[in-house]
């Protein structure tokens, strides 16, 4: 979500970790990524791949909501945005 994706990103957007990786169990979403590797024309053709454009559809996947990041990330002093950045 809203990430810079360099040109080393595979056009399919996905690479198996190992032969036992089961892509049928994934829910794969992209949202407002940018730059060379963000072109979704060659992405996988799985039923659970989605290129979403409505911020309301992804708000539950933000750092704040999905991993409760606002509760524990500040103590590590790493830069992050809890919600959507634009």
The pLDDT tens digits of the residues spanning 22-70 come to 777 788 899 999 999 999 999 988 888 999 999 999 999 999 999 999 9
- Distance, CA of 23 to CA of 9 (rounded, Å): 18
Residues 6 or more apart whose Cβ sits within 8 Å of residue 57: 31
Residue with tokens 């606002």: 70
| pLDDT of 77 over the 80 cut | yes
Cα 25 off chain centre by: 16
pLDDT at 18: 75
Lowest mean pLDDT among 12-21, 60-69, 76-85: 12-21
Record the pTM. 0.78
């Amino acid at each position: 979500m809203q990430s810079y994706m360099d040109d080393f990103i595979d056009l399919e957007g996905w690479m198996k970790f190992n032969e036992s990786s089961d892509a049928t169990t994934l829910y794969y979403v992209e949202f407002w990524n940018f730059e060379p590797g963000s072109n979704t024309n060659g992405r996988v053709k799985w039923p659970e791949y989605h290129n979403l454009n409505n911020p309301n559809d992804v708000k539950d996947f933000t750092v704040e909501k999905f991993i409760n990041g606002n509760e524990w990330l500040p103590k590590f002093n790493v830069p992050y945005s809890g919600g959507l950045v634009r």
